[in-house]
């Protein structure tokens, strides 16, 4: 059987520089391409991830004058140049690459076995037992909780709020890589494990570089090797009508940054409603106390009552007692998950005048003489 092997672009072509490019030109080309193809910029894009690994491997070789000299002489197999070129129980991957050209192993066995290590890991056999070694892949960022105080009116009617918070983001100094990197010595930049002998171990993710093909040699001073940096952000969030203390509002994609190209987490707003000087919330109903005069309660009246939508006119029936509740239908809080609103309950509080004029006293005494009902008649023992 004849296997056709296409020659892979060399490291200079990958970075888009001439073979006589200066070190500064190589570094600038790498930074530009790394920003374009970084997994954090292209979450879930396998082609971009593969390109990023290729770019990193090329840069780690060409930035070092001695490695570059060997690469110019031997090509991609410069690290194995000291070998005889024959496979004698060593790394089968490098034997194939040396015999058929750089990247040949991926061309030949990538077609035969598919993309090993992706989609849940590569199944391999050791000692007669079959196992699956998982490959670390893109990971979703953490959800971030933020307590948001809002006014009673904002909770009832909804609002747009601009908030300021500090979240972790990709370090601008090292582009989220954690510092200066080099090709992983354990896997040769492939991102796949090579331990244990034989090529059937090659599908699993490299445990040293976690499948990235790169390891950090010098930690970034700004992020201390984490690849993350705190960033102050101002975002505008929408608060739906009807929320209450304890409600949670989820803002998609505004949480912690993902890793290895994973999506960001969400921002979860924990609502804390500030108290109102007049209104008290009871579910979706609103309760309040309304002071009225003795004559308004006794004779009945039309009075102005404050609501969350402004003042409305309410009729007080004659003979209304202190402590009695009257209902204003549909004047409560909007139902947050449906149509309609609660009601407003108005508790009547009859206010007795503290000071009376002589004429007022005479009139009340005359009234008392005609009053025949005893309000305490049922309290006798």
Q: What are phi and psi of 119, to 5 degrees?
A: 70, 40
Residue with tokens 């991926």: 106
Starting at the edge strand that comes first in sequence, how are the strands of the sheet with 144-150 ordered? 144-150, 267-273, 248-251
For residue 103, what pLDDT is reported?
53
Give dist(CA 38, CA 284) in Å, integer: 49
Going 162 to 166 to 171 to 173, the CA torsion angle's sign is positive
For residue 119, what pLDDT is reported?
37
Give dist(CA 67, CA 81) in Å, integer: 11
- The SS3 call for residue 51 is helix
281: closest CA among 235, 244, 255, 256? 244
Give start and end residues of each alpha helix (H) in 77-211: 92-100, 104-113, 152-157
Regarding the domain delimited by 280-370, which CATH topology (the fold level of the hierarchy) does it fall under? HSP40/DNAj peptide-binding domain (2.60.260)
Give dist(CA 33, CA 23) in Å, integer: 15
pTM of the full structure: 0.52
Burial class (CB in 10 A: 0-12, 13-18, 19+), 27: middle
Residue-range domain boundaries for the chain? 11-114, 280-370
Give dist(CA 371, CA 367) in Å, integer: 6
Identify the CATH class of 11-114. Answer: mainly alpha
- The SS3 call for residue 265 is coil
For residue 201, what pLDDT is reported?
45
**Residuewise pLDDT in 10s, the chain (381 residues):** 333 434 556 888 888 888 888 888 888 888 888 878 877 677 777 888 888 888 888 888 888 888 888 888 776 665 655 443 444 444 445 555 555 455 555 554 444 444 433 333 333 333 434 333 334 456 788 888 889 999 999 999 999 999 888 777 777 777 667 778 788 887 877 777 754 444 444 456 777 776 777 787 788 877 776 777 777 888 899 999 999 999 999 989 888 777 666 788 899 999 999 999 999 999 999 999 999 999 999 999 999 999 999 999 999 999 999 999 999 999 999 998 778 999 999 999 999 888 889 998 999 888 888 887 777 778 766
**Residues 6 or more apart in contact with residue 63 via CB below 8 angstroms:** 23, 26, 27, 30
Q: Pairing state of beta strands 129-133 and 122-126?
A: antiparallel
For residue 60, what pLDDT is reported?
83
Give dist(CA 158, CA 155) in Å, integer: 5
């Amino acid at each position: 059987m004849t296997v056709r092997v296409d020659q892979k672009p060399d490291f200079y072509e990958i970075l888009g520089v001439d073979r006589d490019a200066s070190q500064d030109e190589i570094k600038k080309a790498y930074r530009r391409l790394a920003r374009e193809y970084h997994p954090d910029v292209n979450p879930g894009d396998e082609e971009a991830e593969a390109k990023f690994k290729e770019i990193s491997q090329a840069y780690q070789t060409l930035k070092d004058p001695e490695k570059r000299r060997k690469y110019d002489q031997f090509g991609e197999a410069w690290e194995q140049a000291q070998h005889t070129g024959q496979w004698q129980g060593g790394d089968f991957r490098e034997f194939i690459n040396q015999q058929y050209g750089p990247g040949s192993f991926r061309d030949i066995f990538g077609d035969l076995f598919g993309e090993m290590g992706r989609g849940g890991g590569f199944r391999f056999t050791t000692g007669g037992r079959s196992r699956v070694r998982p490959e670390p892949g893109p990971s979703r960022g953490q959800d971030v909780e933020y307590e948001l105080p809002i006014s009673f009116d904002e909770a009832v009617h909804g609002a747009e709020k601009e908030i300021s918070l500090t979240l972790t983001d990709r370090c601008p100094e090292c582009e989220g890589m954690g510092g200066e990197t080099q090709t992983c010595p354990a896997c040769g930049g492939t991102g796949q494990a090579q331990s244990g002998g034989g090529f059937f171990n090659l599908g699993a993710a490299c445990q040293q570089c976690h499948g990235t093909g790169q390891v950090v040699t010098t930690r970034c001073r700004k992020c201390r090797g984490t690849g993350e940096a705190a960033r102050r952000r101002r975002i505008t969030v929408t608060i739906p009508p009807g929320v209450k203390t304890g409600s949670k509002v989820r803002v998609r994609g505004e949480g912690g940054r993902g890793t290895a190209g994973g999506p960001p987490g969400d921002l979860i707003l924990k609502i804390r409603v500030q108290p109102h000087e007049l209104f008290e919330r009871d579910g979706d109903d609103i309760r309040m106390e309304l002071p009225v005069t003795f004559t308004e309660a006794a004779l009945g009246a039309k009075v102005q009552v404050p609501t969350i939508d402004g003042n409305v006119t309410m009729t007080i029936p004659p003979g209304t007692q202190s402590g009695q509740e009257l209902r204003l239908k549909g004047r409560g809080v909007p139902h947050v998950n449906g149509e309609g609103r609660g009601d407003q309950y108005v508790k009547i509080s009859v206010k007795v005048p503290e000071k009376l004029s002589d004429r007022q006293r005479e009139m009340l005494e005359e009234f008392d003489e005609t009053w025949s009902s005893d309000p305490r008649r049922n309290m006798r023992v």
